Amino acid sequence: MDFREKEQFIDHYELVDKHIDTYFKGADIHVFHEIPTLDIHLDVYHIRPENAPFELLLTSGMSSISMNVSEIAKNSDAYRFAELMTLIPKGVDFGKMYPSNTKYDWIMSMIKQSAKFPHFYDTWIGTGHSIQAEENMDPYSKDTKYCGCLVLPTMTFPEDFQKIESPYGVINIYGLFPLYKEELEFKIQNGYNEFIQFLIKNNTEEIIDFNRVNYCKKDSGFDKLKRWTKGRS
């Protein structure tokens, strides 16, 4: 696919930059610039807010091309543009550029692959969608067992943070939550609403937990929660 033939919304890079300045005044910010490529120029901001128990990654460039939302029957224009974020523990070191062969490179791979996915496949993503790292559900790298992610609204930031106003339509900011293979399979089979009960029942934090229990693996609480969901009225 030749992305040069797509309509470009270059103004969105500046809008994302201004959005970050508004919400993260005084934060330590490093930008991982896209290595020259023939597809989408996708930068990733590594933001370290003051007095926060987390850091975050936020894309800039996913919204430079609109997603194909033709399958959405109503109000499709509200979903054309998006950027992605994920919360990470304090102190995560990605090096000075990506890739840097650190044990955390997979997080950067997750957010970049997810941001480019709808454009490569001429589709769209939004809340409730899941994205695989590989077709065969292999993990992102040898440094993690996470092999996909779920698109969620951020619970950490207010609603006005989650939308950037643009002359061409709103830019939605969605969160990414990494998933294990069994969790991804469960979500695909049972849907977003069923899987989200795991997060609610376990008071799951939005910040990536490198040692999180696999909610859908045997003896990890899955059977207990399955009984709980079946017992709901």
Q: Which pLDDT does position 73 carry in this prediction?
A: 76
Q: Which residues in 36-65 are b (16+ Cβ under 10 Å) and which e?
A: eeeebbbbbbbbbbeeeebbbbbbbbbbbb
**Within the chain, which residues score under 50 in pLDDT?**
223-233
Cα dist from 86 to 7, 106, 168, 206, 223, whole Å: 27, 12, 25, 8, 29
Indicate the pTM of the whole model.
0.92
* CB-neighbour burial class of residue 165 (10 A; exposed 0-12, middle 13-18, buried 19+): exposed
Q: Which pLDDT does position 1 carry in this prediction?
A: 63
Q: Which pLDDT does position 219 carry in this prediction?
A: 64
- Rounded Cα gap, residues 46 and 139, in angstroms: 23
Q: Which pLDDT does position 123 carry in this prediction?
A: 96
Length of the chain: 233
Q: Which pLDDT does position 231 carry in this prediction?
A: 36
The residue among 89, 87, 108, 221 whose CA lies nearest residue 157 is 87
Angle, nearest 10°, between helix axes 192-201 and 222-230? 120
Strand 171-179, strand 81-88: pairing: parallel
